[in-house]
Structure 1
Amino acid sequence: MKRIGVIGGIAVDLEGQPFGALIPADSNPGTVRVSYGGVGRNIAENLHWMGDNQVSFFSAIGADALGKEAIGSLTDIGVDANGVLTLTEERTAMYLSILDEGGEMTLALADMSILERITPQKIQLFESSFVDIPVIVLDTNLTEETLHYCGHCFADRKIFIDPVSVEKARRIRPILSSCYALKPNRLEAEALAGFAIHSDWDLEAAGAYFIEQGVGMIFISLGKDGVFYMDRRTRGRLYPPRTDHLISVTGAGDAMSAAIADGIARDMDIKSIAENAIRAGSLTIQVQEPVNRCLGTGWIR
C-alpha cells in the first residue's frame, strides 16, 4: 500500500453545455450538471481508483451542506479526509465551466477564496499526519506563502505540483528546486519559463529550463497534441490514442496528474509514467464525470 498526500482544492463544480453551437452573450438552451471537484480533490479520488494507494487529502470547506457532501464524496470511497478544515465563516469553493457543443471548455470561473485560509499555521496542525507520506501532491490553489512553506517543509519528500492556471503557476517559481515532478500545460510552462512555446525545439528548451531549475521530472501537457516529458536522462513526446467518444475534457488534466503521482509512488521510469498519464486523460474525456472510475479496472499500470 503506497501512501500519497494531496494538499489542494475541493469545490462544487457546475458545468454547462449547450445543445447546439454556443452563442456568446445570449441564453443558450442546454444542460447544467452539478458534481464535486477541485484539482486536489479530483487527483485524490483518481489516486484511490488507481488502486493500492492510501490517500490522505488536506483542504478546507465551508460549514455548509455542499461542503459536507463534497467531503462525503471522498470519505464514502475510503479517502482519508481528516485533514480537511471546516471554516464556519467561509463558503465552500465553487467552479463554473461552460463547454461548447463538442465538449471543449470555452470559459471557466473559479471561486476558490476559501483556500487562502489554508495557511502555513493550518498545515502545521496536521504535520504529524505527513510523517510517513513519501509523495506529496500540491495544487496551486494554495497561497504563495503556503506553497513555499510546503516546498521547504516537505523538501525531503517527492513533491509533485499541478500548476492549475497561468496566474497561479507563477506562485511556484521560487520553489521549483523543491519539485520532484511538475506538470504544467503549455501556457503555464510559458509563464514559468518566460518564453513562448511554438515548436518542438521550444518544448525541449522549456524542459531544459525546468531541469536546470532543479525539477526532477517535467511533463508539459499539450491537450490533443499529447505530452512532452523530460528528466536528466530521457526526453520524449507521446500522443493520445484517437477516440471518437469525446464527451467532456473536464477532469482530464487531473487524471493525468494522478497517474503521474501514482507512477512516482511506484518508482516508475518517466516514459512509463507519461504513458499512464496519457491513458488516464484519454479515459477521462470519454465520460461525463470529472473522474472515471474505470481507472481502477487495470487500465493504468
Structure 2
Amino acid sequence: MKKIVVLGSINVDTILNIARLPLPGETMAMRDRSVAGGGKGANQAIAAVRAGAETSFISKVGKDHASDFMMDTFKNDNLNVDHVTEDEKAGTGKAYILLDEKGQNSILVYGGANQTITAEDIHEAEESISAADCVIAQFETPIPATIEMFKIARKNGVTTILNPAPANGDIPKELLENTDIITPNEIEAEAITGVKVTDVDSMKAASEEFHKLGVKTVIITVGSKGSFYSLVDNKYGFVNAFKVKAVDTTAAGDTFIGYLAANLNKDLSNLEEAMTIASKASSFTVQVQGAQNSIPYKKQVKL
C-alpha cells in the first residue's frame, strides 16, 4: 500500500447555487444553499485515502464547530490526522462557492488557520514524511512550510508533487528545484510560465519552461478535455478525459491528484495508466455536487 503525506488546507465549503455569476452591482436570488467539507489539501488527502493509499494529513483548524465537522469527516475515511493541530486564535478555513447551472464555479476563500502552518509543524511530522512514498502540497497554505516538507522528502528519496493552485506566478526557485512533479491546470500553467495554453503545442512550450525551472515531470490538466504530460527526456503525451455530464467541477482536480499519487509508480513506468485512473475518478466527482462528498472510492473507479 502506498504511503502518502498531504500538506494543505481545510475549509468548510458553503455552496451557493445560482443560475449564473452576478454582474457587478447586481443582486440575485440563490436557488439553493448547502454546506460540505472542502479545502484543496483535505480534498486531495481524502482522494488519496479513498484510492487505497495509507494517507497522513498535515494541516490546522480553529477551535470551533467547523473543526469538529471536518475532523469527524476525516475519521470516517480513516485518514491519519495525527498532524492536524489546532490554532488558538484563527478560525477553521472557509470557502464560499458560487455554482452556476452549467456546473462551473467561482470560489472565495478565508484562509484562517490554514495560514498559520509553519516549518515547525512540518518538523513535527518529519518521521511520517521520511517514511512516505510521495508527498503532496498546494498553495492554500504558507509556501515556507511546503519548501521545508519538500526538502525533507527529497533528502529521503520521497517523490514530491506540487499542485500550484490557486495560481501563483511568483514561486520560489527553491520550491521548484525540490519538486519532482508539478500539476497545474491551463490557467496556472500560464500564470507561472507566461505561455497561454490552448493546444498540445502550447502545452509542450509551457512544459519546457517548467523543465527549465528544474521540474522533471509536468502534468497539465485541461478540464473536460483531459491531461497532458511531459517528461524532461522529451517524452510527452495526452490522456483524454471521460465524457460525462458535469454537475459541479469542485474538487475534480483534487480528485485527479489524489488518485494519481495513489496509483503512480515511483519510476513513472505507469504514468499514462495512473493518469487514466485519475481521470476516471474525476469523472465521478463532477457528477455530484460538493467537494469531499463527491470523491469516489476505489471500488467505484474501474477502467
Q: Does 1:128 align with 2:127?
A: yes
Superposed CA offset, 1:183-217 (max 9, x none) = 10111111221332333221111112222333232
Match of 1:299 in 2: 301
Contact 2:150 2:178 in 1 (8 A): yes
> Take 2:198 and 2:234, find their aligned partners in 1: how far apart are those partners?
24
> Take 1:86 and 1:157, find their aligned partners in 2: how far apart are those partners?
27
Instruction: Decide which moves more: 266-275 or 211-220.
Output: 266-275
Look up the equivalent residue of 1:68 and give its one-letter code.
D
Instruction: Decide which moves more: 58-67 or 271-280.
Output: 271-280
Q: 1:21 to 1:61 in 2, by over 3 A?
A: closer
Q: Does 1:214 align with 2:214?
A: yes
Contact 2:255 2:295 in 1 (8 A): no
Counterpart secondary structure, 2:115: helix
Q: 1:152 to 1:29 in 2, by over 3 A?
A: closer
> Take 1:68 and 1:172, find their aligned partners in 2: how far apart are those partners?
34
Match of 1:238 in 2: 239
Contact 1:183 1:221 in 2 (8 A): yes
Contact 2:47 2:296 in 1 (8 A): no
Unaligned runs of 5+ in 2: none
TM-score between the two structures when normalised by the length of structure 1:
0.91
Q: CA deviation at 1:22?
A: 4.8
Superposed CA offset, 1:77-135 (max 9, x none) = 21100100111211000011101111111x21111142221110121122123231121
> Take 1:262 and 1:269, find their aligned partners in 2: how far apart are those partners?
12
> Take 1:121 and 1:44, find their aligned partners in 2: how far apart are those partners?
21
Match of 1:60 in 2: 60
Superposed CA offset, 1:207-249 (max 9, x none) = 1222233323211111122211111252112221222x32111
Alignment of 1:104-123 (within 5 A): 104-105=104-105, 107-123=106-122
Aligned residues, how many? 296
> Take 2:6 and 2:108, find their aligned partners in 1: how far apart are those partners?
23
Counterpart secondary structure, 2:180: strand
Superposed CA offset, 1:43-90 (max 9, x none) = 111111112x11111100001111121022011221100100111211
Q: CA deviation at 1:163?
A: 1.1
Q: CA deviation at 1:172?
A: 4.9
Match of 2:204 in 1: 204
Q: 1:21 to 1:92 in 2, by over 3 A?
A: closer
> Take 1:41 and 1:135, find their aligned partners in 2: how far apart are those partners?
16
> Take 1:101 and 1:199, find their aligned partners in 2: how far apart are those partners?
27
Q: CA deviation at 1:36?
A: 0.7
> Take 1:103 and 1:298, find their aligned partners in 2: how far apart are those partners?
22
Match of 1:228 in 2: 228
Look up the equivalent residue of 1:237 and give its one-letter code.
F
> Take 2:115 and 2:250, find their aligned partners in 1: how far apart are those partners?
24
Match of 2:248 in 1: 248
> Take 2:206 and 2:22, find their aligned partners in 1: how far apart are those partners?
37
Q: 1:294 to 1:126 in 2, by over 3 A?
A: closer
> Take 2:98 and 2:295, find their aligned partners in 1: how far apart are those partners?
23
After the TM superposition, list the runs of 4 or more consecutive aligned residues in structure 1 that deviate by more than 4 angstroms. 265-268
Look up the equivalent residue of 2:47 and give its one-letter code.
N
Counterpart secondary structure, 2:59: strand
> Take 2:173 and 2:222, find their aligned partners in 1: how far apart are those partners?
21
Counterpart secondary structure, 1:196: coil
Q: CA deviation at 1:265?
A: 5.1
Match of 1:165 in 2: 166
Match of 1:2 in 2: 2
Q: CA deviation at 1:289?
A: 3.1
> Take 1:295 and 1:268, find their aligned partners in 2: how far apart are those partners?
24
Match of 2:145 in 1: 146
Instruction: Decide which moves more: 286-295 or 122-131.
Output: 286-295
Match of 1:273 in 2: 274
Counterpart secondary structure, 1:230: strand
Contact 1:140 1:171 in 2 (8 A): no
Instruction: Decide which moves more: 209-218 or 289-298.
Output: 289-298
Contact 1:8 1:139 in 2 (8 A): yes
Match of 2:79 in 1: 79
TM-score between the two structures when normalised by the length of structure 2:
0.91
Match of 2:177 in 1: 177
Counterpart secondary structure, 1:207: helix
Q: CA deviation at 1:165?
A: 1.2
Q: Does 1:137 align with 2:136?
A: yes
> Take 1:27 and 1:234, find their aligned partners in 2: how far apart are those partners?
49
